[in-house]
Amino acid sequence: MPDGSAAYGGCRLAATATGWTTNPGRRSWRSAARSCRRCSACSGRPAFPPTWPRLTRRAPDASLALSLNEAGAVGNDVDADGKQVIIVTGANHGGKSTFLRSAGLAQLMMQAGMFVPAESFGASLSTGIFTHFKREEDATMEKGKLDEELDRMSAIAGQISAGGLLLCNESFASTNEREGSEIARQIIRALTEAGIRIIFVTHMYDLAGRYYDAHDPAALFLRAERRPDGQRTFRVPPGEPLPTSYGEDLYRQVFGTADQAVRT
């Protein structure tokens, strides 16, 4: 166990979302409120900075590797020491969600005392691992998709504590990009200030681009790799966010070129 990691056990530092409110003619996200029941473990502050994997080599998604059998899954190298938030962008069908699952599974397997499917892996312990993935339309849903997303995030915020790990997959993409990006920014800021680590997969350039331009030393930016011919390598190296996810590549695969679409 890394030095100081046990101190997180007594700390109840958490971020709680205060809610999505409706005002006359306008909806706005009220900033998340951060509170801590002071304890001897940290006196109101995280006892030590959470640590990402110092160097992860060739870590694939364990579940994908099992399903592919001999074909093999693509592993990724990540050096995120000293980072608190990882923002993953890039091409559609480029391996972003798979990378997110691989990171969560590696952390979970390590903490369970299991071998991690990687050449090497090292990280501090997390007080909890939480996921916030987008959900498809469900006939049983009684609320809109954004309301449902916010409710789930509020429930997570009420349980996650300092040293926790949150995995977000295209969260808040159910509204327009400006509003979704602003909601995500406020939540990321509140949770990271509370000592929580986040991996956030997103297509929202307004969110990723602004974070990148802020030059935050605690943020790491990864981008799913795409070759000039449109081929996906399923590797997710460090890279600046781009204003495109190359959706036209998938369009061409389905419909062909514009001339071909007209002829058919």
184 sits in which H/E element? helix 177-193
pLDDT 10s digits, 145-199: 899 999 999 999 999 999 999 999 999 998 999 999 999 999 999 999 999 999 9
Query: How many separate domains does the chain show?
Result: 1
Gyration radius of the chain's alpha carbons:
20
Q: Helices 177-193 & 145-157, crossing angle to 10 degrees?
A: 0
- Structure pTM? 0.74
With a cut of 90, say whether residue 5 has pLDDT above it: no
Instruction: Give pLDDT, residue 127.
Output: 95
| Dist. CA 77–CA 79, nearest whole Å | 7
Is position 82 within any domain? yes
In a domain, 169, yes or no: yes
Residue 51 CA to residue 48 CA, distance in Å, equals 9
Whose tokens are 């514009």? That residue is 258
Q: Are strands 26-29 and 20-23 parallel, antiparallel or unpaired?
A: antiparallel
- Neighbouring residues of 67: CB distance < 8 A, sequence distance ≥ 6: none
Which conformational region is residue 197 in: left (phi greater than 0), alpha (psi within -120 to 50 degrees), or beta?
Answer: beta
CATH number at residue 189: 3.40.50.300
Distance, first Cα to last Cα, the chain: 62
| Domain-embedded: residue 57 | yes
Taking alpha carbons only, the member of 87, 79, 44, 40 closest to residue 195 is 44
Residue 23 included in any domain: no
Q: Is 46 left (phi over 0), alpha (psi -120 to 50) or beta?
A: beta
pLDDT-based confidence at residue 38 (cuts at 50, 70, 90): very low
Tell me whether residue 10 is in a domain.
no
pLDDT at 115 over 80: yes
pLDDT, one tens digit per residue, over 215-258 is 999 999 999 999 988 888 989 999 999 988 777 776 777 887 65
Domain membership of residue 3 (yes or no) is no
Percent of the residues in the chain that have a pLDDT greater than 90, as a whole number: 46
Domain span at 204: 50-263
Decide if 16 is inside a domain: no
Determine how many CB atoms are found less than 10 A away from the CB of residue 96.
23
Distances in Å between the Cα of 131 and the Cα atoms of 6, 154, 169, 197 are 23, 12, 8, 12
Q: Which of 10, 4, 80 lies closest to 47, judged by CA?
A: 4
Residue 36 domain-assigned (yes or no): no
